Amino acid sequence: MNPHPLERNLARFFGLCCLLSSQYSLAGEAYYTGFETFSVGNNTITGTDGWVGSYTTSQLHGVMSEAQHGVVGLGNAAFIGGFAGSFTKSTAGSSVYVRRPVNLDPVALNQEIATFRLSIGIKDSSTTKRDNFEVLVYNQANILLGGLQFDNTTLDTSGNPRRLIYRLYYDTSTSSFRYALTSLTFLPETMERLEYRINFRTNRWSAYLSDLPIFEDLTFYSGSATRNLGSVMLKMAVTSSTSTTILPGDNYVLFDDYSVRTDAIDPVTAEISTSSGSPAITWNEEAGYSYQLQVSENLSNWTNSPDIPWTATAGGTRSYTDPTTPLPERRFYRIQRTSP
């Protein structure tokens, strides 16, 4: 397999360390909104700036001003929910959602990383009726690939929501999506920063809430649907319904600063230390990529180190100390990164 086109090379001359690198591909923000240009009120998200959704005339989603939602410094923010009652069930069933298609293929753009960020907070119900809220990733064919659920229905012994976070994953044994409980919970009625980092080339992803990892370097989607980015959906999963109506509580999700961008993976950077008397090379890795350390005495003829080839199973750094004795007067090193 040929090295990834974003391969970075490291050369080391004893007593002198230099980095040989090539140009990365361009990155870019695919979409951003803070909802400041949206009209304040019910039913004002869909039909504006390319947003679509369900229950578009039901008053179950819209935009609040800062005076309405009360979060100082936030400005306008979008919401889903907040209006308890009985609503005629639509073709969307019990899913009240909004989404904004971006329709990107990060791998085709040679920017395999898609990063989604959102400010999000959940207001509890004033009654016993509660619903769950989800942030879901769909492909361009509108097929679900994965996401998170913010559980506002599971109660503790005091009758308050436990505020659990579940990861949605595709189970190949049942050909369906399942919910896996994560170790993190969300704060009550507090705006937090949610981030998804998805590598569409390696099919790995990580999620963070207020900079704390919900999980890292897990398989993103294992089904047969095409892996690309269509949209990231905000959804209220109404838990009470009849055959003809949905019966949501007045809980709601408030969200703002919705952004999607694509980037190439970070370049391989490395450092060399000789404090122990032997060259110690340390470099950064991305889960799913293969790394080969090569050595040379003249920058023309390169030899693969038998100790490193290595396929990273997690992001982070890796170190290798050259055991060669005696050391030549000069030796060069480089790291080759290969795509899966």
The secondary structure of 151-213 as a DSSP string is E-S-B-TTSSB--EEEEEEEETTTTEEEEEEEEEEPPTT--EEEEEEEETTTTEEEEEETTEE
- Where do the CATH 2.60.120.560 domains begin and end in the chain? 28-263
Task: Look at the block and give the residue holding tokens 């408030």.
Answer: 254
Q: What architecture (CATH level 2) is domain 28-263?
A: Sandwich (2.60)
pLDDT tens, the chain, 340 aa long: 444 333 333 433 432 233 333 334 456 999 999 999 999 999 999 999 999 999 999 999 999 999 999 999 999 999 999 999 999 999 999 999 999 999 999 999 999 999 999 999 999 999 999 999 999 999 999 999 999 999 999 999 999 999 999 999 999 999 999 999 999 999 999 999 999 999 999 999 999 999 999 999 999 999 999 999 999 999 999 999 999 999 999 999 999 999 999 999 989 988 888 877 889 999 999 999 999 999 999 999 999 999 999 999 999 999 999 998 888 888 899 999 999 8
- The letter for the amino acid at 54 is S
Cβ-contact 336, 306 below 8 angstroms: no
253: closest CA among 137, 146, 112, 152? 152
The residues facing 237 across adjacent strands are 95, 132
